[in-house]
Amino acid sequence: MALYFVNYDLRQERDYQALYDALEALGAVRLLESVWCFNQDNTTATAMRNHFRKILDLDDGLLVSEVSEWATRKTMASPYDLRAGGRADGDCGG
């Protein structure tokens, strides 16, 4: 199963609940204010970008990347939370 990070810049004050719902439907965890991660099989970063771009406004920025290694510091959660179902504070890497 591949690990993906989604980063975005929401450039206007709008209702982005559809974006948050789509991320939660994937079982994503929020790492930072505008960074989420999720596991997904049988897809690509391009396909996931195309999925999310349908939800975002035309002026919003979006980055989807497949990640094999990471390190965090003082994040809201961790990619490990995708497996453990818990919440990690502090530093970690994978």
Greater confidence (14 vs 89) lies with 14
pTM given for the model: 0.84
Domain containing residue 50: CATH number:
3.30.70.240
> What pLDDT sits at residue 94?
58
Tell me, yes or no, whether 78 lies in a domain: no
CA–CA dist 20, 55 (Å, integer): 10
Q: With respect to residue 43, please indicate whether it lies within any of the assigned structural domains.
A: yes
- 74 or 90: which leads in pLDDT: 74
Q: Which long-range CB contacts under 8 A does 75-79 form with residues at least 24 apart? A: 75/31, 75/32, 76/30, 76/31, 76/32, 77/29, 77/30, 77/31, 78/29, 78/31, 79/3, 79/29, 79/31, 79/37
Structural domain boundaries, residue 48: 2-72
Residue-wise pLDDT for 16-64, tens only, equals 899 999 999 999 999 999 999 999 999 999 999 999 999 999 999 999 9
Whether 90 maps to a domain, the answer reads no
Domain assignment of residue 18, yes or no: yes
63 lies in some domain: yes
Residue 91 covered by a domain: no
